[in-house]
Amino acid sequence: MNNFIHHATDITPEIVLSPGENKFVISGNSAPEDVRELYYPLIDWMKEFASSLKQNNPYTDKKPLLFKLDLEYFNSSSAKFLFDIFTHLKELNNEGVPVVIEWHYDAEDTDLREAGEDLALLCDIDLKYCPKTKTDQ
């Protein structure tokens, strides 16, 4: 399975989806002018990845698929696609692929934490909340 890589810009996040490294990260800012152009290929990649796991699932409870979100900002259009991503991860988990989703946020940014809580509630999934302090950043 090929990796999915998108390099960050001022308005788009860095996206690294690398199954061989168990590295699934979306970080930075997500406010693209054309949100579909950014996220549709990612969603297509996730569907292909999910299909490949049916033949070979390397993830276990001791080494789950770890999906890390470390966004400083995301707009409402991006939120819809985060919902879609979480839905795909929930489906994987329901099919026996252990998944841990980390939601990283500035410890002082309660709005960003609450945005994660809202998405988790909408998707009916658990997130691991990881507050960052100034020394972490």
Q: Does any domain span residue 9?
A: no
Q: Does any domain span residue 19?
A: no
pLDDT at res. 137:
58
How confident is the model over 5-30, as pLDDT tens digits?
A: 999 999 999 999 999 999 999 999 99
pLDDT at res. 135:
67
pLDDT at res. 1:
86
pLDDT at res. 102:
98
Q: Does any domain span residue 101?
A: yes
Q: Does any domain span residue 96?
A: yes
pLDDT at res. 16:
98
pLDDT at res. 89:
97
Q: Does any domain span residue 99?
A: yes
Q: Does any domain span residue 98?
A: yes
How many domains does the chain contain in total?
1
Q: Does any domain span residue 115?
A: yes
Helices 76-94, 110-123: inter-axial angle, 10-degree rounding: 50
Handedness of CA 133, 79, 91, 18 (dihedral sign): negative
Q: Does any domain span residue 112?
A: yes
Mark the ranges of the chain whose per-residue pLDDT is less than 70.
135-137
pLDDT at res. 56:
92
| CB of 52 closer than 8 Å to CB of 84 | no
pLDDT at res. 6:
98
pLDDT at res. 112:
96
pLDDT at res. 44:
97
What is the extent of the structural domain holding 126? 40-52+63-69+84-132
Which 3 state secondary structure label does DSSP give 134? coil
